[in-house]
Amino acid sequence: MSMNDSGIIVAPGNMEQQMKNCYGDLEKILQHYGYTFDDVVAENVYTTNMAEFIQVSGFRNSIYKKQFPTGTWLEVKGLAVHGQLIEIDMEAHKSH
C-alpha cells in the first residue's frame, strides 16, 4: 500500500499506479538494508480485484529480471484503508 505523509492513500481506485507505488516503496526498503529485488525469495500479493491486478501484473517483469520469487496471489474482500486495492509483502534473503 502506498500512502502520503498525511496517511492518505495514493491513487485511490487506480490499480496500476498503486501497484507501482507499492513496488517503489518496497524497493526503498530493500535498498535501505542493502538488498535488491534479486534477493527477494517470497512475495505475497493481496488485492481486492484479481482480474485487474493480472491485467497490470506484467509490470513485475521490469522488477524481477533474474527470476520471479515464490509466492501467493490472493483476492480479498477488503484491505486496511478505504480505496486500497493492493498490498504486497515480501521476504528477502542474502547468502553470505
Q: What is the pLDDT of residues 49-76, one digit of tens each?
A: 999 999 999 999 999 998 999 999 999 9
Superfamily of domain 15-92, CATH level 4: RutC-like (3.30.1330.40)
Question: What pLDDT score does 52 carry?
Answer: 96
CB contact at 8 A, 70 and 41: yes
Domain boundaries, the chain: 15-92
Q: How high is the pLDDT of residue 81?
A: 85
Instruction: For 81-95, give one letter per residue: b (16+ CB within 10 A) or e.
Output: eeebbbbbebebeee
CA terminus-to-terminus distance, the chain: 31
The pLDDT, as a whole number, for residue 11 is: 72
What are the C-alpha distances in Å from 51 to residues 66, 74, 95? 26, 11, 36
Distance CA 38, CA 80 (A): 28
pTM as predicted: 0.86
The pLDDT tens digits for 2-20 are 555 656 667 778 899 999 9
